[in-house]
Amino acid sequence: MDRKEAPVTERVVLAYSGGLDTSVAIGWIAEETGAEVVAVAVDVGQGGEDLDVIRKRALACGAVEAEVADAKDEFAEEYCLPAIKANALYMDRYPLVSALSRPTIVKHLVAAARKHGAGTVAHGCTGKGNDQVRFEAGISSLAPDLTCIAPVRDYAMTRDRAIAFCEAKGLPIATTKKSPYSIDQNVFGRAVETGFLEDIWNAPIEDVYEYTADPATPREADEVIITFDKGVPVAIDGEPVTVLQAIQRLNERAGAQGVGRIDMVEDRLVGIKSREVYEAPGAIALITAHQELEAVTVERELARYKRQVEQRWGELVYDGLWFSPLKRALDGFIAEANEQVSGEIRMTLHGGRAVVTGRKSQASLYDFNLATYDSGDTFDQSLSKGFIEIFGMSSKIAAKRDLQQ
């Protein structure tokens, strides 16, 4: 008699943080779908518990497999560095802290889905924020055949129901009172929202912050020299560093001076405005230094056009389109624009500000003899009169016509 093969059980890969919601989601998904759950945790420098502890917790909560990935260097070099080269500041202020981490995680989720034969990927986002788009648009770009679910959004897994589920199943998760804030953090920065911050008249209080000290506290200023090679930070005060080390060291030094605090109302992709408090000391210090070195080394017309590209690049990343064709094409432009961005920037970190005080580059386009007003000036001022006549001619002709009407 032929032995019947056991039916293949569907598998779901879950983006796992180790907290209450995603731990409960393991059993919740299994009950809702009948699928086995593979938990995947990705370390992008968010701190907290040891990865092995998180892996064991996922298994204890019912995952059939659990994978953890130390992706801090990958995140810094493949995601944060392009943002630095792009001077990426959404709405001219936000350095895309959370938006940059999502495609990193997405790549690992898709790889795990392929490895474990899963047809579905799950995440813990709500239906109100940007991250659901970042996860699902990213997954569909890398693996169009995979489907996505979000237990909080799709199966009404509220926090109260999650706590009740946790207690009923005896899961090894603390169900203490929820923090008054919603926090997302990684090595590039920290995002805080909800609670009393939802009233946009309320000022942030000091316990909101973790990466930065109070900039109003009196302290000695800190001077730092950042060295770049083709837009890549390669040394701090002459000491070679990786991109991750550059971010980490400036998180410490700029953070100690209160640099990188951002309080803003931003335009979410889903169409609502949201009050967000960010702290990104290393990101702001590096972007500030990079912008200034570009001012010295990038030709005027290229620099003007790059500023337009930077805005669009930031919008694409914010909107979850990291893997889109336009984003890839803009990456090529940004890489070319950074070919000459090499040199040193000296900055003073103090009182919540990163202020550039010196610039040095072998690729500098600054010509002292052309710029000086003192003796040694090599600029031929006699050329300017004719230049102005030609440059302003079209406006002059239009003005004559308009005055006659």
20 assigned binding-site residue? yes
23 assigned binding-site residue? yes
Give the strand order in the sheet containing 222-229.
Answer: 239-240, 232-236, 222-229, 343-350, 353-360
Q: Of residues 55, 102, 190, 253, which has the active-site annotation?
A: 102
Q: Of residues 11, 21, 141, 342, which has the active-site annotation?
A: 21
358 assigned binding-site residue? no
73 assigned binding-site residue? no
94 assigned binding-site residue? yes
Closest CA to 172 of 56, 4, 286: 56
**Antiparallel, parallel or unpaired: β 273-279 and 189-193:** antiparallel
Residue 314 has a CB neighbour count (10 Å cut-off) of 22
52 assigned binding-site residue? no
Q: What are phi and psi of 357, to 5 degrees?
A: -120, -10
DSSP code of residue 62: T
Give the strand order in the sheet containing 11-15.
Answer: 65-70, 36-43, 11-15, 120-122, 147-149
266 assigned binding-site residue? yes
Identify whether 102 is a catalytic site residue.
yes
CB 188 within 8 A of CB 97: yes
126 assigned binding-site residue? yes
Identify whether 21 is a catalytic site residue.
yes
Token code pair at residue 332: 């090529």
CB 243 within 8 A of CB 232: yes
217 assigned binding-site residue? no
Q: Of residues 182, 324, 361, 364, which has the active-site annotation?
A: 182
90 assigned binding-site residue? no
> Which residue's structure tokens are 């005060």?
237
Identify whether 324 is a catalytic site residue.
no
Closest CA to 317 of 84, 106, 148, 102: 102
Token code pair at residue 123: 């995440």
16 assigned binding-site residue? yes
182 assigned binding-site residue? yes
Cβ-in-10-Å burial (0-12, 13-18, 19+) of 163 comes to: middle
Q: Of residues 55, 101, 131, 249, which has the active-site annotation?
A: 131
> Which residue's structure tokens are 């090894």?
172
Specify binding-site residues for L-citrulline: 94, 130, 134, 182, 266, 278
Specify binding-site residues: 15-23, 94, 124, 126, 130-131, 134, 182, 266, 278
Specify binding-site residues for ATP: 15-23, 124
Specify binding-site residues for L-aspartate: 126, 130-131
Looking at the annotation, which residues are catalytic?
Answer: 21, 102, 131, 182
